[in-house]
Amino acid sequence: MAPSDIPNIQINIAADDSSNDDGVRRLSNPETLHTPNTLAPSTFSKSRSSSVSGATLTADDESIAPPHKPSTVAHCTDAELAVIFKPDAGNEQDFQPENSPFAFSVGQLNKFLNPKSLDAFKAVGGIKGLEKGLQTDLTAGLSIDECAVANKVTFEEAIQASETSRDVTSAAHVSDGSAGSFSDRKRIFKDNSLPSKKAKSLWRLMWEQYQDKILILLTVAAVISLALGLYETFGVVHAPGAPPAVDWIEGVAICVAIVIVVLVGSLNDWQKERQFVKLNAKKEDREVKVIRSGKSIQINVVDILVGDVLHLEPGDMIPADGIFISGHNVKCDESSATGESDQMKKTAGDEVYRRILAGTADGKLDCFMISGSKVLEGVGTYLVTSTGVNSSFGKLMMSLHQEVEPTPLQVKLGKIADAIAYLGGGAALVLFMVLFFRFCAGLPSDSRPAAEKGSAFLDILIVAITLIVVAIPEGLPLAVTLALAFATTRMLKENNLVRVLRACETMGNATTVCSDKTGTLTQNKMTVVAGIIGTNEKFFMNQDQPQAGERTPRDTVAAMSPTAKELLLKSIALNSTAFDGEENGEATFIGSKTETAMLSFARDYLGMQSVQIERTQAETVQMIPFDSKIKCMGCVVKIPKGPYRFFVKGASEILLEKTSHTVSDLSSEHIGVSNLSVEDKESLKNTINEFAGRSLRTIGIVYKDYAAWPPAGVPVKEDAPNEAQFGAIFQDMIFLGIVGIMDPLRPGVPEAVRQCQHAGVTVRMVTGDNLITAKAIARDCGILTETGISMEGPQFRNLTESEMDAILPNLQVLARSSPEDKKILVGRLKFLGETVAVTGDGTNDGPALKMADVGFSMGIAGTEVAKEASSIILMDDNFASIIKALMWGRAVNDAVQKFLQFQLTVNITAVFLTFVSAVSSAKMESVLTAVQLLWVNLIMDTFAALALATDAPTPEILNRKPSPKSAPLVTLNMWKMIIGQAIFQLAVTYVLYFGGRDIFPASWTEKELRTVVFNTFVWMQIFNEFNNRRLDNKFNIFQGIQHNYFFIGINCIMVGGQVMIVYVGGAAFSITRINGQQWAVCVVLAALCVPWAIVIRLIPDEFVEKCWNKVTAICGPKVKACNDFFWRYPGKIIPKRFGPKARLVSSVNEAQPAHVQTWEMTEQRRASQSADVENQNQPR
């Protein structure tokens, strides 16, 4: 019978919604008869069709079978489906789409990954089930005309599609375009865009900036001061001829201060957000190749949809999760997404599903494409199943959107703000009570009208409020913000993009840096720099100073015969997965760094023109991909008119064990082969160790000839009878050579490491390289010292916490480490009180970067995940740029401490001056009026913040050790200067105020005397600002001042402002003009604070500490040394995180807790490391 004579019969077999006792769905209940080739959606949703003929027959029960081979599909039971697709906690909504025309939900599709699940792939009916359920076409892709999806496909229909051969397209039917392009698909599955971290509006940033405690206290003070000022101005009748009432200026000026602080901080944060968005915009805007309506087109990566069919090519970054459809030899690097270092070979979805049903599937089968991974080799297509926030890459990115912890500086400033609030409020309360009692005591004899008495009471309240305003350092938030803003702007010019504004101040206190090797310490440009051909022909690059008997690569190759060169060339070019490419307009090789290095060697010295040409001319009969377990790869090539040649390359020590012969007489046209003696093997092992000792990665090259392929008597692969099993043929190989590949250090890295160590910052190398190579590179960098410890990741992660804590102070190299090892290392270092900086570039580095106090990602090689998790981006991927971040971080901390030292001196002096003068005055008035104090506290502080926050760091800033997290913000040396200057300023001001009438001529009026007091006080602050440019005990307070134009300009403004106030501000400031003699008195007395600062610096810190300890010892047994953050142990200051509330230890021999001993080990290690660095610097 001819095919045309066969009637068209369609059999509909209905699936009941119920299940039998065994949980397996049974087929029952026939559907109604339908005309050929027509099937209503409602009917189709419950039927399984098999097109055989023209008429339509309906099966009433399972006994009626279609006239073709029965299906072997084993559908999952309801119980199995419930387990496979069990929603994760919090993701239940992903499994419950509303009015979806597709068979699968977002949650079900996400079950393919994390971890990879063949069960989930089987449950949806394999690749054909996905094709049906997602209403797409594996060949033609989505239709470019799709808008809203007209037909609905159920889960049962989708999984049944895998039973039938694919004869018609399953792409979605389209409706009119009114709904918008792919509207249903976008509504259910979303597109491939990630909701960018919602940019905060300027108003939101201003509100967050306003939440500072000091600003809130200032606001309260401003409201009260403004209310009282307005009452004094408008609510009180003033005598005729009285000066204009300006009491309201206080409150207005405080409000202006608050507005300035909020605006500067919020605008700076807003600018930083815009800079980072601009940085990533170009990288995010990339094109991908997709098949739609049967044509390959390019679309933006954000326009990828679930159901799209995407092309895979070497070097592609996979943009969305999916299932591999088909292709040739596709291998992916998923290390950046999963941490798995092995190349993952992809198997077609159909093949995987077939083997699942046949029961031959194993753990190596992988058809899953993970977003964020990279295609290393091969070409193919894959079906997109999850996009955007639903993809594994998107979920990881979204999980990193979280608030950061407050930095040490924020915590310390918060404590200082609390302390100042309590002290200022307490002093104001005491002053108010004293003046109020005096006021009440005088009421019986006070004959003034009630309004004047009320005004007098308000004057008392204003004095108390003024004292609070004086006590609160309103310039402190501005100083911190300006210092950070100035530092981050300058750091950007030095290749440090600060994403988190406060990260730079944290970096200033870093005690350790855990750095990657490849690309950070090294250039990530692998180059063959040494090698040996045969057992004798050793060569080194020119820059390595060849020893006796060593030659350059060019000399070695020149001595080889054409046959020997051809053998070496084929072994490199054919046994490789790298390929020709172009980068920045220059021809290059694309692939692993090791293979590209070897191909470059073949091009430069062996005359290779093109990898593609070499491979096209060769007849390759078998490829053995790289296997991380045996650390080698191979290929079999048919030699024209000759044997089959088996090339292998890989880890040199492994290949050497498999060799029994070696090439000889390389200058002859007929290459000789001789036995490899025990002495030769030992010599080659020594060569391998020698290369490793020079920081080289060694790659061995071996080969063997066979007369036939597969060789007779050798086991073959079950699925490929023409290919031999690798283990059976990988023996008795002929040794050809070893090459040593180097990733050169970046210029300046050894010097940068030395500077870090000199600054008290421990540098640790955390790398995936082997231990010998890692140690060699660490020595070249200066990281590994004689007393340093190096170990491998597996050994480290198996240590107990106490064992880790014992070795961490001296651990300098962690080799063969995984991302989890890096995370464990960071966690333990933080537990021990270290401030940890971490570098990373891969997606899997995200957790460690997020955990670290400061995370550095790579601007060039870094993934989006690494950048999102980091706080600073190294724009040039260079370790030396970390030194710049360290210097600017310390400059920020110094700027804050300089300003704090200046501010506290002003505030202590002003508080004592206001309190004593108000209490001693018969009129209960302060020597400095509220407006005068406002000039001192607001204008002077604001300008001082600008001046002291803009000093650039000098190399000398690296000459000191880092401060631990719990170190005091106000150090003992700072307290020495603050108290010393406060004593001097109070002494001068009290003498002028209380004794001025007896010291100066009687012709000086009371108003002139009060003007001299005010003018002298202001000029003392101006001169003291110069003193505060140094925090140490050195005398040169003018160092580098010529480079700080901000400081010079701001001081000119301050001096000019004070002169203007004296001459034209009489009414508002309650002062009068003074003559030249009076100006001289003011300036000379104020200038004496500069030599007085020298006297203070001459006082030994040890003497001050002893005095402090004697005073504090009187307070009781629970002694806190110098500050609220340290506990005192014999001769040491221990951070509070290292122990419980400690008592004053009277005996030096008393046992100390283990955590204190660990701290001392850390300090000893730093001292030893600094000594090593100093010894290295000594002339030899």
Q: At residue 500, what is the residue type?
A: V
Distance CA 25, CA 10 (A): 22
> Cα 289–295–296 angle (5° rounding)?
15
Distance CA 748, CA 1170 (A): 19
> Pick from 711, 749, 700: which is nearest to 534 by CA?
700
All residues at 6 or more sequence positions from 590 whose CB lies less than 8 Å from its CB, including other chains: 314, 315, 578, 579, 580, 581, 583, 596
The most distant pair of C-alpha atoms in the chain lies apart, rounded to whole Å, by: 138
> Cα 10–12–17 angle (5° rounding)?
165
119 catalytic residue (yes or no): no
Distance CA 34, CA 707 (A): 65
Distances (CA, A) of 530 to 560, 696, 964: 17, 8, 45
State how beta strands 659-664 and 733-742 pair.
Answer: parallel
| 243 SS3 class | coil
User: Is residue 45 within 8 Å of residue 157, measured between CB atoms?
Assistant: yes
State how beta strands 619-627 and 374-386 pair.
Answer: unpaired
Phi, psi of 9 (to 5 degrees): -120, 135
Q: Is 1006 exposed, middle or buried (0-12, 13-18, 19+ CB in 10 A)?
A: exposed
Q: 377 is written with which tokens?
A: 């080799």
Helices then strands, counting H and E runs in the chain, come out as 42, 32
User: Is residue 250 within 8 Å of residue 228, measured between CB atoms?
Assistant: no
Catalytic residue among 137, 212, 247, 516: 516
Neighbours of 135 (CB within 10 A): 26
Distance CA 648, CA 704 (A): 9
Say which DSSP state 674 is in. E
User: Is residue 889 within 8 Å of residue 508, measured between CB atoms?
Assistant: yes
Query: How many residues are listed for the chain in this entry?
Result: 1180
Phi, psi of 555 (to 5 degrees): -65, -40
Q: 735 is written with which tokens?
A: 């040794």
3-state secondary structure 900-945: HHHHHHHHHHHHHHHHHHHHHCCCCCCCCCHHHHHHHHHHHHHHHH
Distance CA 571, CA 663 (A): 14
> Cα 782–786–791 angle (5° rounding)?
85
Q: At residue 183, what is the residue type?
A: S
All residues at 6 or more sequence positions from 782 whose CB lies less than 8 Å from its CB, including other chains: 750, 753, 754, 757, 1176
Phi, psi of 663 (to 5 degrees): -70, 150
Distances (CA, A) of 240 to 750, 931, 1077: 78, 22, 34
Q: At residue 992, what is the residue type?
A: L
Q: 919 is written with which tokens?
A: 């209490």
Question: Within 1065-1116, where are the H helices?
Answer: 1066-1069, 1076-1087, 1089-1098, 1101-1113
State how beta strands 872-874 and 854-858 pair.
Answer: parallel
3-state secondary structure 403-456: CCCCCHHHHHHHHHHHHHHHHHHHHHHHHHHHHHHHHHHHHHHCCCCHHHHHHH
| 325 SS3 class | strand
Which residues, in sequence order, are bridge partners of residue 738?
A: 532, 700
Catalytic residues: 516
